[in-house]
Structure 1
Amino acid sequence: MTVKAILTAAALALGVTAPALAADSVTLDFYHSQLPFLPSLIEGFRKAHPDIVIHDLAPAASYSAGDQTVIRGMMTGTAPDVYLASYASLASIADVMKDRGNAQSLDPLFAKEGKAWTAANYPPAILDLAKVGGEQYAMPFTASLPLLYVNKELVEKAGGTIDHFPSTWDGVIDLAAKISKFGDGVQGIGFSVGGLSDDWYWQMMVMSAGDRMLNDESTGIGYDNKAGLEALRVTQDIAVKTGMSVYADPKPAQQQFFAGKIGIVVESPSDLVAYETAIGDRFTMRTVRFPLIDAEKGGLPAGGNALMVLANDPAKRAAAWEFIKYMTSVAVQAEVSKASGYMPVNVQSASALQGFYADHPNFQTVFASTPAARPWFAYPNNTADGVWKGVAPILDQLQRGKLTADAALPMIRDHVAGVMASQ
């Protein structure tokens, strides 16, 4: 069944029809980056709510491009009514709303629904992803926590099993080292922490060690401590102790994994469908939870996006809330998970997905990681790019064995402090 057919079936399951458009309809401009399953969802909502017109704007080329368009629109009065923003963008957009004196969180709308309704649908760890300064400025729509994508045959050849996969990084590193000994171009793991265009991989390591990206004053790193050193040690061991090839881009490791030449890679669950398609029947791929360096204090940065209401008009805000409730409903969230691999943000979707999970265990792994979800850290004053341009090369050298953890930490500390001081 195609993605469109799946989502159309979900709309029909909700009992929607297509009555005539109401005379007193409300129109909402909806802006987002392209997601392949959104058009079918929007069509389902239109049928369920004929009195609310969703004007689906041309999608943004990327989250950053969308953010800039929205911020300009807020300055000129042309902002969309509803914006699907990345978690990393929420604080910046909320700050602009506050500066312009039109900041309105979703808290009053949640209050009208009642605490029991909220608790029954949305776990606190999920809602926290879209909070700014303790206020609910957006509703989570999709969520992804990092997973290990594993070649089952290579793991078993090395003496491991999926059911008893290592739960610590030291165990994963030992298993990956055994896989690397097979020869013929096979490597145990592909996880170049400095190889992304942003610091999502590095946030995984710092947060899983129970640390923060910046200190309370936002003047420097929050991991200038023993836990930070441990995050750097593990980052280096992943590469050095397994003979891993370090890349400046994740694509080479992905392609080698597809070809059956790498045992373990780190990925988002949103790539599950794409990975399964690319691998075909070459080998059996399974997903396992990303190990926390500190099992008690550690967490993981959640990727994904959230629905923000930028409209101030009461009628539009009420209509936008109906749109948000539909998009995060049990049935729709279950179907989005099937179509993409994203973790459902509605806790009741787990029951709706039981049969699907039984047949597709790879999709269930991320849902089991929900308690570890933490907000993706957003650097203040658009400093994320400046921070990462200095940190990434240090991590690259660390994984190549050209720097020790003890040498890397002060280099990162000084660079980040310099970036923060220049603002």
Structure 2
Amino acid sequence: MKNNILKGAILGSLLLVGCGKEEKVTTANKPLEIEYWHVASESFGGGTIKELVKNFNEQNPDIKVIEKFNPDMYKGLTQNLQVAVAAKRKPAIVQMGYSYLNYAHDNFDFVTAQEVVDKYFPEDKDYFNTEFLPNILELGQVNGKQVGIPYSISNPIMYINSDLMTAAGIDMNNTPKDWETVRKYSETIKEKTGNMGLFVQEFADNWAQQALMEGNGGQILEERDGKTIPTFASKESAAAYQYLADMVKDDIALHATNDEGFQTFLNGKLGMVITTIGKRDNFESSANFKIVGEKFPLFEGNSRKLPAGGNMLMIMTENSDEQKASWKFMKYLLSEEASEKWTKGTGYLPSAIQDENSEIAKFLNENQLMKVASEQLKDMGKWASFSGANALQAEQLLIDVRDVILSGQKKAEEALKETQEKIMNLVK
């Protein structure tokens, strides 16, 4: 019987890359080059990307994958892709963040992986239906169309500096499970050690903030007549955001760039960090203190609602040979061999169901931080994704209001209402 966590949320099986009839994709005896765009920095899986690309290229001498890092996370990659499309220099395959699912569907020309498989790889025609669970496939769908194939899956967890907590006199048998306790412990850390209590990630997206607001009963978007309408300026959302802003105002929580926040944590000067499980390997390999994981905190009377973070793989090229090469590379990335390296090298949950005796299954059960993330899979839903031509501007407005609220320029209620009105005008 398969592990319940894996069976309920992650996909796949052991498949070999390049099985079936091989089709040569060489040009003049040189390997066909395809670009793979990603968001994995050196401290966020970049080394593993390089290893995976190297392994694939060695196994497939007729193809040469060239990986390209895009800074500023999925917003940066999407903006760069806009430029590449205009210049008619699209990459072959990209990591598209789930938060840009609707935008990618509405604004980019792409080919679905199923279309490529149906046309060139009949032996794989049932691959997606047999190797993916329906709820996982839905992460990459718009109105039933499979825009991208789910690849990396993450959720936000709380990383705790156990040594600093103990130094502050906090019993680590009672790790914080709700926001009231997070605040109480942050006050104690500041009083007893002079250090900051909490930092909530501030990437160029609203992933953690969605979890914050929806965890208090708010809602980011609503689907109306085929459009995504902002609904985040509710009293529930404002109360959640203001709770964090008040912690910043009271100097027990940090409002800073990710580099500053994460480095403060790794320097042992910060008690708790809420960020993606995808940072697990970087934190574990860099910290000189014991890290303990805990689930995303709860607001009293509400359940945990977490957006599924991570990315899907999209094939962008219109060239038939590059499409064939892209599918072979995509299939390799989804294989057990590559999934194990990617999970261990980052912290991302694999999108493939692994056998209960696989190394990934063993790792997910034995690593305490990964186990926390796995246990939160049942609490996950879709990452809010604006639709239409102005989706990038709408997302940026939500990013901008975070600084307005956390820096104390305006109260959350006022700032969210103003931002919602601006976005409403964009998506009309």
TM-score, scaled relative to structure 1: 0.76
410-419 or 104-113, which moves further after superposition? 104-113
Deviant stretches of 4+, over 6 Å: 13-17, 109-112
**Coordinate RMSD, CA, aligned:** 3.7
Q: Contact between 1:81 and 1:309, CA under 8 Å: does it hold in 2? A: yes
- Classify the secondary structure of the residue corresponding to 1:347: coil
Q: CA deviation at 1:138?
A: 0.9
2:25–2:321 Cα contact (<8 Å) kept? no
2-side partners of 1:270 and 1:352: how far apart? Answer: 18
Deviation at 1:103, TM superposition (A): 4.9
Q: Does 1:130 align with 2:137?
A: no
| Correspondence list, 1:96-175, <5 A | 96-97=107-108, 103-107=110-114, 118=128, 121-156=131-166, 162=172, 164-175=174-185
For residues 41-82 of structure 1, what are the alpha-carbon distances to aligned partners after superposition, in whole Å with 9 as ceiling and x for unaligned? 1233334445x5134155445544543443344445432322
SS at 1:321's partner residue? Answer: helix
CA shift, 1:394, in A, is 3.4
Give, in angstroms, the shift of residue 337 of structure 1: 1.1
Report the counterpart of residue 352 of structure 2 in structure 1: 346
Aligned to 2:421: 417
1:219 Cα deviation from its structure 2 partner: 8.2
Superposed, 1:342-421 pairs within 5 Å as 342-348=348-354, 351-357=358-364, 360-380=367-387, 381=390, 382-384=392-394, 386-388=396-398, 390-398=400-408, 408-421=412-425
- Please tell me whether residue 272 in structure 1 is matched to residue 280 in structure 2: yes
Partner AA of 1:414 in structure 2: E
Residue aligning to 1:336: 342
Q: Does 1:290 align with 2:296?
A: yes
Residue of structure 2 in register with 1:29 after alignment: 34
Partners of 2:93 and 2:313 within 8 A in 1: yes
Partner in structure 1 of residue 196 of structure 2: 187
Q: Deviations over 1:135-188 (max 9, x none)?
A: 2211122222211110113334556555652322223323333333313x2233
1:71 and 2:82 equivalent? yes
Contact 2:397-2:419 at 8 Å conserved across structures = yes
AA at the equivalent of 1:409: E
Structure 1, unmatched stretches of 5+, are 1-12
Quickly say closer, same or farther: Cα 1:211–1:339, change in 2 above 3 A. same
Q: What is the alpha-carbon distance in structure 1 between the residues aligned to residue 195 and residue 76 of structure 2?
A: 39
CA distance in 1, matches of 2:180, 2:188: 13
The Cα shift of 1:128 comes to: 2.9
* TM-score between the two structures when normalised by the length of structure 2: 0.76
Aligned 1:296-307 pairs, distance under 5 A: 298-307=304-313
Matches of 1:418 and 1:257 in 2, distance apart?
Answer: 35
2:317 corresponds to which residue?
311
Q: Is the 8 A contact 1:219 1:420 kept in 2?
A: no
Q: 1:151 to 1:104 in 2, by over 3 A?
A: same
- Aligned residues of 2:340 and 2:359 also touching (Cα < 8 A): yes
142-151 vs 128-137, greater mean Cα deviation:
128-137
Name the CA distance, whole Å, in 1 between partners of 2:232 and 2:17. 51
Deviation at 1:349, TM superposition (A): 6.6
Determine helix, strand or coil for the equivalent of 1:211.
Answer: coil
Q: Tell me, yes or no, if the aligned pair for 2:156 and 2:277 is still in contact at 8 Å.
A: yes
69-78 vs 131-140, which deviates more?
A: 69-78
2:302 and 2:323 map into 1 onto residues whose CA distance is 40
Identity %: 21
Given that residues 196 and 248 in structure 1 are in contact (C-alpha distance below 8 angstroms), is that contact kept between their aligned partners in structure 2? Answer: no
Contact kept in structure 2, 1:125 and 1:373, CA below 8 Å:
no
Distance in 1, matches of 2:141 and 2:16, equals 32
Q: Which one scores higher on RCO, CA 8 angstroms, separation ≥ 6? A: 2
Q: Distance in 2 between matches of 1:55 and 1:153?
A: 43
The one of 257, 269, 273 equivalent to 1:261 is 269
Aligned to 1:204: 211
* Conserved 8 A contact 2:208-2:275: no
Q: Taking structure 1 as reference, are residues 298 and 136 closer, same or farther at Cα in structure 2, changes over 3 Å only?
A: farther
1:84 & 1:220 partners in 2: Cα distance?
25
For 1:128 and 1:137, the matched residues in 2 are separated by 10
Q: Read off the aligned partner of 1:128 and give its amino acid letter.
A: E
One-letter code aligned to 1:353 = I
Q: Which runs of 5+ in 2 are unaligned?
A: 1-13, 41-45
Secondary structure at the counterpart of residue 32 of structure 1: strand
- 2:96 is matched with 85
Instruction: Report deviation, 1:385.
Output: 5.5
For each residue in 1:170-214, what CA deviation from the matched residue of structure 2 results, as whole angstroms up to 9, or x when unmatched?
23323333333313x2233233x7x55443332221233343323
CA distance in 1, matches of 2:353, 2:363: 15
Q: Distance in 2 between matches of 1:122 and 1:367?
A: 17
Distance 1:196 1:341, change over 3 A: closer
- Decide whether the 8 Å contact of 2:186 with 2:197 is kept in 1: yes
Look up the equivalent residue of 1:235 and give its one-letter code: L
* Cα shift readout 1:73-131 (whole Å, capped 9, x = no counterpart): 4445432322222333343332223xxxx55434557897577x646643444333322
Q: How many residue pairs were aligned? A: 390
